[in-house]
Structure 1
Amino acid sequence: MKKVPYRHSISKVLGVSLIVFLLFSVSIFAQDGGSAEGASAEVADSGDSSGDPAKGKALFNQNCAACHSLTRKMTGPALANVESRLSDDEGLDREWLYNWIKNSPGLIASGDAYANKVYSEYNQAAMTPFPTLSNEDIDNILAYTAAPPKTAAPAAAAAGEASGSGSGSSGDGVSNELVLGALALVFALLVVMLFLVNKTLRRIAEANGVDLSQEESAKRLPLWKAFAKNQFLVLVTVVFLLLGSAYFAYGWMMQVGVDQGYAPVQPIHYSHRIHAGDNKIECKYCHSSARVSKTSGIPSLNVCMNCHKSIYQVADETLEEGKREYGIDYNKEIKKLYAAVGWDEENQKYTGESQPVKWVRIHNLPDFAYFNHSQHVSVAGIECQQCHGPVEEMEVMYQYSPLTMGWCVNCHRETDIKVEGNAYYEKIHAELSKKYGVDKLTAAQMGGLECGKCHY
């Protein structure tokens, strides 16, 4: 029997391909496992075993955030790693912290040296005592202060990129470059295999006396002629182009009037990140009409002056961060506020020479759509962030949600009505619950999809 020359070559290529693929698979799984082990070890090593950082964060925000930050000095000192710092620098243990947090005036009166040092440093204003906090609560707070700050991970990632690591990673910890390299190698091997198969088949044809060059020259046509003669291919291409054009045209037209992501430059820069985020100012302190009115309202400049009569400049750390990260000089923006409201900073009085501020509206519904803030904020108890996004993280305010009809309708379909403590809904809720056979009603089941609710 005549030996078939192409089998040996193809077998070699297939064997090499299989070996290379297996090697890449092993390396990928090994790296994935190592990453998982490293992550597990990191989780095991982080945090304080004697407290729950998640519970501590909630307690910190409720009791401590008004006067303390983790990373910067405010009314009180920064509290990041406070326990380890006091232990290393002052030789104080956790028991001292229990006494200080629960009864700081008593500890000061007892003559404790470090308590009196803090008392003198911070304008002889004793810290508010928290006798209701248990030792477990304080353990949780200390565990939270010992945990890495939120910004540590992004900062580390940025540092890694800057150092030239150049290795992105996919969600499971596998390097993107490694995956792409493996796919590129597999593709190259396939190309080599096809080339060898084609070469081997040509040798077989020539050995059997077939002249491929003449047949190919006789049958070969220009590409466009071959395409034009293939009516099926032409039809499929035309249909594909028509469908693609219709898809993109529809997508473009559906974006008309949708301003998601709109972030205009305002005449006076206002950082929601600093006010609502760092300083924990309640949204409705400035937008007070959201509780009782259709609109949330634009805060009067007098609301700003409630604080900025005394706050005429920001801390050096915040000022440097603003210039470095956002190109903003916060102190200059405060001067713009003083000029607009007519405040004489030197003499500490109003001049009466005010200037209008031409704020640029960001969230704007069509005139034919009715929306009432008070109905959603006061009655439904919806948080501002549900529609406006993480405002406390926005340096420049932008439109977070699309504010389209479909977006509103989906929310009405998914949101349960808040009926607890609202006598108005009791009878309606009981009747509709029987009708739909449910325990909780959505806004849609309460008539939230009726056209007249928003259009009349």
Structure 2
Amino acid sequence: MINHRRIVRALIFSILLPSLVLLGNTSFAQDGKALFQTNCASCHSPFKDITGPALKGVTSRVTDTKLLHEWIHNNQKVLATGNKYFNDLFVKFNKTPMNTFPGLSDGEIDAILKYVETATPPGGGGQTTAVDGKSPESQNQESDNTLLYGILSLILAVIMFVLLQVNSSLKKLSDDKEGIPSSEPVPFWRNKVYISFGILVVFLLFGYCVVQGAIGLGRQQGYQPEQPIFYSHKVHAGINQVSCLYCHSNALDSKHATVPPLNVCMNCHAAINDYTHGPKLYREDGSEVDGTAEINKLYSYTGYDPKTSR
């Protein structure tokens, strides 16, 4: 007798696995960039010297990948070996000790190196899509995948229940052919599993409506004061994949994420002096923002001169 249950399980697995892979692909698309922003951007830029040397071309300057990994894991150990290139580099940058990264795997280091080698310098006429604010362009370009995931999950759930019903019918046919007594399949409107699932869906929808209604009562007023320097979460945490905890370090321990100090901003903006290659920025009133001018405000508040890097 053919094992129909095994066939149905294989069908379900063949449907769910590709879906999970497709949905998960975006999670790894920018690992190198995210790792660079988290571990390296405070001292390095791919394109110019700041606290440390520009990283673009480092794999050409240091062709020994194993040595490069050792340098990133523990640079003091490599310096102790008397390596001329790294010792000269150490002297060139005023003997400023580089942080060690023993926790980075070789694969993560390779992802960072691939990112810095393929990164393109700012200023090359970028996208014109607006972010933040309420401009029509922004509203047209915005995309939220939540609805897509919800529809896909619903479709997969329907497919699963259909396959379960098919499995039940096939089992009955097989039992009848073999002369094995079997009970009649339970109609879906009397099936306890289906009824429980329906009740759960109704409960979730009801809870969602209750929460949305409670929010609409006015307990959340949308408090959003205008900051002295315009800031876009979509550019920083979205496009550039900067970790939220990099700026809001108190978020794990406090009720509030807190506003980061300016020195945290300067960790990256000592190297990033302009905003010319990203999407257009808009304020809430729809007026366009000059990103480079906002970066210059940061310099004026901190007393930093980008020309002398001091």
Query: TM-score range with shorter-chain normalisation?
Result: 0.3 to 0.5
When the two structures are superposed, what TM-score results if normalisation uses the length of structure 1? Answer: 0.28
Which has the higher Rg, Structure 1 or Structure 2? 1
When the two structures are superposed, what TM-score results if normalisation uses the length of structure 2? Answer: 0.38
- Which structure's relative contact order is higher, taking Cα pairs within 8 Å and 6+ residues apart? 2
